[in-house]
Chain A
Amino acid sequence: MSANRWWGRPATTLAACVARGELSAEQAVESGWEAASTWEGDVHAVAHADATVRARAARTAPPGPLRGVPVIVKDNLCTAGDYPTTCGSRILAGYRAPYDATVIRRLRAAGAVLTAKGNMDEFAMGSSTEFSCYGPTRNPYDLTRVPGGSSGGPAAAVAYGLAPLGLGSDTGGSVRQPAAFCGVFGLKPTYGRLSRYGLVAFGSSLDQVGLFARHAGDVALLYSLLAGPDLRDATTRASPPPDVSAWDRGVKGLSFGWPENLWREGVEPEVVAALEEAAACLERAGARRVAFDFLPGTYAVATYYLVATAEASSNLARFDGVRYGPRAPSTDVWSLYVRSRSQGFGPEVKRRILLGTYALSAGYYDAFYLKAQRARTRIRREYQAAFGRCDFMLLPVAPTLAFRLGEKTTDPLAMYLSDIFTIGANLAGIPGLAVPLGLAGSGLPRAVQLVGPEDSEPTLLRAGRALEVRGEVARLGREHETEFPWPMKR
């Protein structure tokens, strides 16, 4: 990497250079747009950007650990005074939030600069970023393939170099799966550790703001700046969040679960190979493998799609054309609702609102929603039991590498099943970290997922770091950064 390729640097390095005066905050932010000049036209990771707005933000960024560091945030995080907040939906066309989400406020206070809002599946419903009113985002490693979703925009942008950091939201894997498809780190924190205030809700009991970065150390830094209680979100935990500063301490003495039964069938060989390689790395670094069968409820997918759609059907009721967003012309209030919503929502959102409405209906509530809640409790217990035997588990993120555009859009069930390894963490409220593991022979990124008990972020980051340096953590200094496998145009 040549010295002037600032956009390739980790956030910590970039911030240090800005702090030392080696480059201005504006230059730091614009450097990412150099990368974008090559990629953005094809990848389409950005939903909203504005050169004047980000230049002003860079000039006025307060001193802080991220001063001058550009960050791309998903289009469902409310940002005031700079970009629209539209959730990739026509029903919020042109909507500008009058307030900053808590995580955005904390980002800005740390000196970070919002360089763009990232594309996403409409209202975060999807696993491929194909369901956006702005059109699909493509995978920078293969433009015929999806970047994953729903936070595909931020994931792809972090992968090609627009920004070293990104924020997404993860309701059932929407950060971890695109991170895996785009070859970057993706953390879904413990439920209640990052404020949801200002995150446009999909499934309130499952949603968490998630983090993207190209390096384990950057994930740790970003987590430490954003995590913690928020008086505006009653579901945040009151206790101080766990300390992740020892992210490079190595994994000596840790044990990881190896539930091999999960990938005996239905999982691509490249994904299994990545798991074997990761396990070997962790063992080399001093961790112990604990093999066991893990059955996190045969009904996890069904449970997830009942809970998430039920909550979504109610959360999305507010988009009615009365107070904000486009309003369809009509002569009475009922047709105003029907037309505004019919025209404003895309097909996947409509499908989920219908599913959720059905699940909550009189006469079906007990059979669907209530049963799903019971199943959820059991799934949570099964995870707890598994963590009685190990410190964290090694799992696939998705059963496949990045799939082709259009491959699953006509088969919702196949799309839903691609979440099978990620939804457990959301149902159980526990953290999950997608860790990139280089490229497969096909040139597509490979990844594994680390899942641990509540507040195990420090452990997951230590293991993620060990994998980042291929198990050599003890011999390499904290400042060591392995070269990121940048995408090649094809």
Chain B
Amino acid sequence: MAHEAVIGLECHIQLATRSKMFCECPAEFGASPNSNVCPVCLGLPGALPVVNRAAIDAALQLGLVLGCTIREASVFARKNYFYPDMPKNYQITQYDRPLCEGGALPVRLCETARSFPLIRIHVEEDTGKSFHPERTGDRPVSRVDFNRAGVPLLELVTEPAFRQPEECGAFLAGLRRLARWLKISDGDMEKGHLRCDANVSLRPPGSASLGTKTEIKNLNSIKGVEKGLTAEIARQAAVLDAGGRIEQATLLYDADHDKLAVMRSKEYAHDYRYFPEPDLPQLTVDAAWVEEVRGRLPEPPWTREDRYVDHLGLPAYDAAILCETRERSDYFEAVVGAGTDAKRASNWVMTEVLRHVNARGLSEREAALRLPAKSLAVLIGATESGRITSASAKEVLEEVFEKGGDPEAVIAARGLVARSSPEELLPLVREVLAENPGPVAQFRGGKQATLGFLVGQVMKKSGGRAAPQVVQELLRAELGALR
């Protein structure tokens, strides 16, 4: 029997603010356990939360770029449940009046532009982290690190708009790119900066009603989201095909073994007893704040991609790769801004620059420091004009990425300016012709392609510095003269 999957996602984005959501503790990752804590994030008696405006600012950036409606007076609420890594045994979150509602994330999927609608984005605090089980003697021991407790999170909830696991993967990749693009999160899924839960149900294709859903937690990589959903869809389909019924449940996905385990069934569903957080007044975001944030929003990546295709005439493939990160596309734009042809700049950035970035494990920021966009533009210009050969250009890049320095200085120091005077090159041409009677004969016999081989030989002799145009002309002239 055929089934159609209906999937909705809940994504948590850990914000890269300096301090935590409701206190002054550093929100950094990797400090020694329980060192970034204070009475507020430890939930000590008498401590009170105070909203970190930087986190709200980040939420506004994301909300505005996704076209959400911003609520002028949103409300924090308490979500009550007991868990050892949650210091107050309630989480401060938003419930019936979230900061952002609606909006959509544009995603390119298999060369098609798609847009996945959102229900809401709200602000909340993260929990600490439990480690267990350990043992001291024969007693099991759990440990809790509260460094993460109170770190700001955005929760983004999508409409149940996905039908394929791959759509979810693409959505998550797009969300990660956007979070990094806005510099509101490091977006590292391995470090938990971006986490994802999914709700999935099946129904007959074309049906308008929804089946019983299950929730899958712990989908903490893009692969994991796709594989976990694929596994759950297969499981549900098998149950339905066998005439069974889907039980509402929360499942945990174990990526290492590609397995789903039931975390809790419906009978054990929590009653979170939400109510408005009395320690915090309404969060007021006035029009001035919204406009101020809107005013400094960067151009979103999908708009950039379209602009590269529509106005710069780049292939969609190039546009997608250039807009993978904001650093890369800013760099590309600076190269173009320095007078380089867009397609040429694209080729150089995508092949030469990225090759060094990957080979050397550089961040794109570092790469841009070693080879500023202006310098790359100069280098491209020099190659285009024939002042240096493309082989020399590669040599320059090698040195600049290795040791740093100004490309012009490298060209000068290494004497890389192309040799184009016939007087200088003619002896080399003649040497090559003398050394290669076979190819010469072939050329004469009408095999034009041999000329390329001969040019290559001259280039080799010149140490890559001969201007290939001139060499070719000289070769043709010499071969004609020899006839």
Contact = CB atoms under 8 A, between A and B. Distances in A.
B78 A314 contact: yes
A233 B51 CA distance: 10
15 contacts: A78-B44, A196-B46, A197-B48, A200-B45, A234-B50, A235-B48, A235-B278, A235-B280, A313-B273, A314-B80, A317-B90, A331-B140, A361-B273, A362-B271, A365-B273
A196 B39 CA distance: 14
Interface string A75-101: 011100000010100001001011101
A27 interface: no
A322 interface: yes
Nearest to B277: A204
A361 B269 CA distance: 13
A94 to B, nearest CB: 13
A95 B50 contact: no
Given A196-B46, A360-B274, 18 more contacts: A78-B44, A97-B39, A98-B44, A197-B47, A200-B46, A204-B278, A233-B48, A234-B280, A235-B278, A310-B275, A313-B273, A314-B78, A314-B90, A318-B87, A323-B42, A333-B142, A337-B82, A362-B273
A322 B50 CA distance: 24
Interface string B274-291: 110011110000000000
A156 B49 CA distance: 33
A320 interface: yes
Interface in B58-115: 78, 80, 82, 84, 87-90
A99 B45 CA distance: 10
A204 B49 CA distance: 12
A95 B43 CA distance: 14
A317 B275 CA distance: 14
B144 interface: yes
Given A92-B45, A97-B44, A365-B275, A235 B281 contact: yes
Interface in B13-45: 39, 42-45
Interface string A208-242: 00000000000000000000000111110000000
Interface residues of B, number: 30
Given A200-B45, A317-B89, A234 B80 contact: no
B39 A322 contact: no
Nearest to A198: B46
Contacts, number: 103
A311 interface: yes
A165 interface: no
A201 interface: yes
B281 A98 contact: no
B48 A98 contact: no
B46 A201 contact: yes
Contacts of A198: 46-47
Contact of A197 (B42, B46, B278, B280): B46
A305 B87 CA distance: 26
A234 B281 contact: yes
Given A98-B39, A317-B88, A232 B48 contact: yes
B80 A360 contact: yes
A336 to B, nearest CB: 9
Nearest to A322: B84
Contacts of A97: 39, 44-46
Contacts of B46: 76-78, 85, 97, 101, 196-201
B344 to A, nearest CB: 55
B84 A360 contact: no
**B51, B82, B275, B280 pick with most chain A CB within 10 angstroms:** B275
